[in-house]
Amino acid sequence: MYTSKISGLGYYVPENVVTNDDLSKIMDTNDAWIQERTGIKERRHIKKGDGNSTSIMGVKAAKIALERANVTTDDIDFIIFATLSPDMYFPGGGVRVQDMMNMNTIPALDVRNQCSGFVYAISVADQFVKTGMYKNVLVIGSENHSGGLDMTTRGRGVSVIFGDGAGAAVVTRSEEKGSGILSTHLHSEGAHAKELSLEGPSTEHWVPEIIAENPQEDIPYYPYMNGQFVFKNAVVRFSEVINEGLQKNNLSAADIDMLIPHQANLRISQFVQKQFRLSDDQVYNNIQKYGNTTAASIPIALTEAWEAGKIKKGDLVVLAAFGSGFTWGSAIIRW
């Protein structure tokens, strides 16, 4: 049995910055209202004509990750692409990355686990590498939310939260015992699926049906979120799955050098930080400037923390996410 490690990281965000004040010009909201509830000050949105898409941003992040891992596209054995916002209904983003990067006819897998997508994808990569099937797996989390949000007062409870961007990691085979990805832990609870969802267009709500049967004031093809219910579940599940990972490896909260939580809401991160009695230097948050980038949020934050020198060899790094599904998970990594 091999071990697996993250050998390269990269991220990309669009240049177009959208501030809270910008949003206040198109909907009934303001900077204080948004920051109080979410901690977000600004986010990045793809701008029409800037040449970006979910897959293209994923490629931009992937190229940086490959360079830092000191591997080429010929070295990659498998692509795992996590997103809720693929370029098209089908096929998914993984095969588009394979094409855009001129890779060999390697397999490509798409993961549709929304906010926990990157943790799920890392878990899949970890298993393929540890069993010896693949040596280098490219894992991407990328999202283009801005084109599918209700940018009016009606949708402000959701639309102010989300941003666009991509992050990528190369998961590589290693024979160094006691380091790399130590364990991953995944869960779901579908009973609450509709509390954070986008019901149409889908095979249950095709576009002609939506147009014919729904008044314009009740459009089901925008995301819906029961914010308070999601928050209450998130803080419980975050803590549970982090503790599960620590216990699996005979570790405690005192051993954590860096926690990278999914950037759903700064208040959730702060709540979890307080529960585990971690200092500001032990938790990395960047939701203030990027918003919630769903599957991209953890790899973007992980890359930034590493670039800033906040993660060093030997550090215990914990990734944790909770989101739509409900799904949640954690990864315990000895860097």
The residues carrying an active-site annotation are 115, 262, 292
User: How far apart are the C-alpha atoms of 6 and 334, rounded to whole Å?
Assistant: 10
Question: Tell me, what DSSP letter sits at residue 284?
Answer: -
- CB proximity list for 127: less than 8 A, separation 6 or greater: none
Pairing of strands 42-44, 3-12: unpaired
| Contact (Cβ atoms closer than 8 angstroms) between residue 328 and residue 322 | yes
| Contact (Cβ atoms closer than 8 angstroms) between residue 60 and residue 12 | yes
| Contact (Cβ atoms closer than 8 angstroms) between residue 187 and residue 325 | no
Distance from the first to the final alpha carbon of the chain: 19
Alpha-carbon Rg of the chain, whole angstroms?
19
DSSP of 187-249, one letter per residue?
A: EE-GGGGGGEE---SSSSS-HHHHHHHS-TTS-TTS-EE-HHHHHHHHHHHHHHHHHHHHHHT
CB burial readout 248-278, b (16+ within 10 A) else e: eeebebeebbbbbbbbbbbbbbbebbeebeb
